[in-house]
Amino acid sequence: MSYSQISPQELLSLKQKNPDLALIDVRTPAEFGEVHVEFAQNMPLDRLDAGQLKANRNGHAGEPLYVVCRSGGRSKMACEKLVAAGFDNIVDVAGGTQACEAAGLPVVRGAKAMSLERQVRIAAGAMVLIGAALGFGVHPGFYGLSAFVGAGLVFAGITDTCAMGMLIAKMPWNQRSSTAATCTR
């Protein structure tokens, strides 16, 4: 089994024909609170429980479940997770919320939040800089911190997973309460 992909324009057309269309946004609650597609429900990737989601779809399990994130990376991971859990009608929204907004889908705007990707770049850069500074000024063993972060970034690039991103997603500043935690469609 696999999942399919749809453009934001196609999603809008389908939503106009089916007001009960189910769209889940797998970004952090803080990112979701900043801007999200009007009819999306927030289910952060790090807390996405496929079994619970399946149970909450009350008779709608055969209908497509659309998945979106910021730009497409996390939604693909969520689609793979859902397909592995036995979902058979999963659709990834190409380009994410950014593409949806550009295509004219209705969005809700809230308080500005820093994207998870930007937080990861700041944390990784700070750790490399600290490791280099401590290696130069305190003890050469601290260069290992910079090497460890570099190796982690290479691993993240190769596997398309990011342990640092998953950890940062769980930080309190990324945990604003989400408006909808269950998908009943």
Q: What is the DSSP letter of 176?
A: P
The three-state secondary structure class of 108 is strand
Euclidean distance between the first and final Cα of the chain, in Å?
A: 21
Sign of the C-alpha dihedral computed for residues 40, 41, 46 and 49 taken in this order = negative
Q: What is the DSSP string of 7-42?
A: -HHHHHHHHHH-TT-EEEE-S-HHHHHHEEETTEEE
The one catalytic residue in 69, 79, 162, 183 is: 69
Question: What sign does the CA torsion over 89, 56, 67, 77 have?
Answer: negative
- Rounded distance between C-alpha atoms, residue 108 and residue 96, angstroms: 15
**69 given a catalytic annotation:** yes
Q: Which residues are catalytic?
A: 69
